[in-house]
A and B are shown apart, each in its own frame.
Chain A
Amino acid sequence: MDLIGDGLREAFWLLVHNRNGVYEIALRSIEVSGVATLVSLVLGVSAGAFLAFKRFPGRLIALTLVNTGMGFPPVVIGLIVAILLWRSGPLGDLGWIYTTKAMIIAQTAIATPVITGFTAASLSALDPRLRLQLYALGASRLQALWLLLLEVRLPLLAAIMAGFGAAISEVGASVMTGGNIAGQTRVLTGAILLEQSKGNFGTALALGIILLAMMVAVNLLFTWVQLGARRQRAAAAPAQEDAPRVATLTPWPRS
């Protein structure tokens, strides 16, 4: 049997006829993982900046935890979030278990350490005196942080891509916290899992192709932004002329 060919053909028909609510599922994937990435960005950048700039007892442990978190088994995160939100669990009264909110929490827990780690590493690589220079220029703490984040915009974009990728491609935690309920919490990964278990390899593969295509599209967008930033740097650097290094004193400027 030609599984891949069938898969591609089926993906095409799924998309053309919107069978099994595939658009809805794909959109929900983007929505859940997009929100989770945004929340992770806020949390991760704050935590990353804190870890990069503050010296406090336990910093080594905190950094180790973040680095562990970057590769933490998502299924364990799913389990913890599910236990916390379980109807009889400590946060059960919220009634969030088997909703997209629960999935967003789980995916945020997966993506935040990734963004935290990238942010901390790239900010730590900057000259520590650059921060002093920004304060000396008159920057408040927030302004200085903003300018430093602009300095690390390229690795930061990579962090966002990695965080989004980790969130959207995650299945265990999403199913454990969302329940994979059709029309409510079913996302692409959950749908793939379900179709595969039903033996619908073609449909599963079709959904997989859609998931991959979406990730490629999102990464293409960010990479394009990244390259644009890099091109800007290159464009702002014309070929060096052979001018004398010691410039002459020009007359005093008049205001």
Chain B
Amino acid sequence: MAAELTAPPKLAARGLRVRRGGREVLAIDALDVPAGRTLAVLGPNGAGKTTLLLQLALLERPDAGEVLFEGAPARGRELRLRRRMAVVFQQPLLLDRTALANVETGLRLRGVGRRERRARAERWLARLGVARVAGQAAHTLSGGEAQRVSLARAFALEPEVLFLDEPFSALDEPTRVALVEDLAALLAETRLTCVFVTHSQDEAARLAHEVVVLIGGEPRQVGPPEAVFTAPTDPEVAAFVGIGTMLAGRVLCREGGVVTLDAAGQRIEAVDERAFDEALVCLRPEDVTIAPAGQAGAGSARNHLRGRVRRIVRTGVDARVEVDCGAPVVARVTARSLAELGLAEGSEVVASFKATAVHLIPR
């Protein structure tokens, strides 16, 4: 464990700046990719996720700053270092040849001998479940098959660092789920260093040890997925990770680790030891329950806000219920409870949540 703590990160960005058309699209003062771990790069469209990946994968030169590989600058030895890494892009980007030949191409470029090449390619096509398309031309493969061949091509290189740029976003849901599970198993087994660009929190939570949220080309928060998703450090990250409710609050009093705030004219209790006078009260929709006014009060929730249902948006099995409690509070309710509670737009309700479910962003 101690060795792991003192070892330099596999990859690191220092003072990295990338400009496009006079606009700065990436500004990273310091970011580390620890060895043997998976780092998910999350962020909205245009946040610079792919730009960051291309920088770390040494596929583009920065306008300023540098990338360190195992603590030493990568500049000047990009080709050699690229041959120790592999990238899977959003599109399979296969060459116009057979699946097998595609997997062998990278190995050939890295000087792997003919017999070893063939063996590794066949082994990894089998591992990704696409052995039966080995002899098929790349352009005849389905999207899922092609992406599996692309993954096999990357894993066959047995890289020290694997980059994945939204590799599943173009696939249908069952294929995506199956591939994410395969990839999770592979990452756990190989213990390679992985940088995984995605805009899916599910994928990040499933695959990553650590998450960095990129907004406007800047890393806003780095940490384990649970921490980032439940305790964002700024409103933009909060909005991106799906915090449905954000209320401006003022501290009224503190007692034994419990903070009482005034938000939207109502009292809210939260668990927080930090010192501040004002904070943003953040709630995830799944932490808020809704009940018709008069039926609330039961359960362990300390907070109950009265309000009126302003909008109900059905999303398949779930519904997103916006309640006007002086300020909007958002809850996620299953379609069944929605029907059982007889909720409709305009209903008088109480939104309840535990003090421990409240996350505060000091202002």
Contacts and interface: CB of A to CB of B under 8 A. Distances in A.
A243 B93 contact: no
Interface in A228-255: 233-234, 236-238, 240, 243, 245-250, 252-253, 255
A135 interface: yes
A200 interface: no
A250 B140 contact: no
Interface in B30-82: 54, 57, 59, 79, 82
A135 B58 CA distance: 9
Contacts of A136: 57, 59, 82, 85-87, 163
A135 B80 CA distance: 11
B182 A249 contact: yes
Interface of B: 54, 57, 59, 79, 82-83, 85-87, 89, 91, 93, 95-98, 105-106, 109-110, 120, 123-124, 126-132, 135-137, 139-140, 142, 144-145, 148, 153, 157, 163, 174-175, 178, 181-182, 185, 189
A238 B135 CA distance: 9
A245 B153 contact: no
B87 A133 contact: yes
24 contacts: A129-B89, A129-B91, A130-B93, A132-B54, A136-B57, A136-B85, A136-B87, A137-B106, A137-B109, A138-B82, A138-B106, A139-B109, A147-B95, A236-B137, A237-B136, A237-B137, A238-B135, A245-B142, A246-B178, A247-B128, A247-B145, A252-B127, A253-B126, A253-B127
Interface residues of A, number: 31
Contacts of B79: 138, 140
Contact of A246 (B54, B120, B144): B144
Interface of A: 127, 129-130, 132-133, 135-140, 143, 147, 150-151, 233-234, 236-238, 240, 243, 245-250, 252-253, 255
B126 to A, nearest CB: 5
A137 B105 contact: yes
Nearest to A148: B95
Chain A CB within 10 A, most for which of B93, B132, B135 = B93
B61 to A, nearest CB: 12
Q: Which 5 A-B pairs have the closest CB atoms?
A: A247-B129, A137-B106, A136-B87, A236-B137, A253-B123
B144 A245 contact: yes
Contacts of A246: 144, 174-175, 178
B126 A250 contact: yes
Contacts of B109: 137-139, 143
A52 to B, nearest CB: 17
B148 A247 contact: yes
Given A136-B57, A151-B96, A249 B82 contact: no
Given A132-B54, A138-B79, A138-B83, 9 more contacts: A129-B91, A137-B105, A138-B82, A138-B110, A233-B137, A246-B174, A249-B182, A249-B185, A255-B120
A133 B109 CA distance: 12
B350 to A, nearest CB: 44
A209 B65 CA distance: 67
A250 B89 contact: no
A145 B271 CA distance: 60
Contacts of B131: 250
Contacts of A245: 142, 144-145, 174-175
Which of B97, B120, B128, B181 neighbours the largest number of chain A CB atoms within 10 Å of its CB? B97
Contacts of B89: 129, 132-133
Nearest to A249: B182
A143 to B, nearest CB: 6
Contacts of B57: 136
Given A236-B135, A236-B137, A245-B145, A135 B82 contact: yes
Contacts of A240: 140
B153 A137 contact: yes
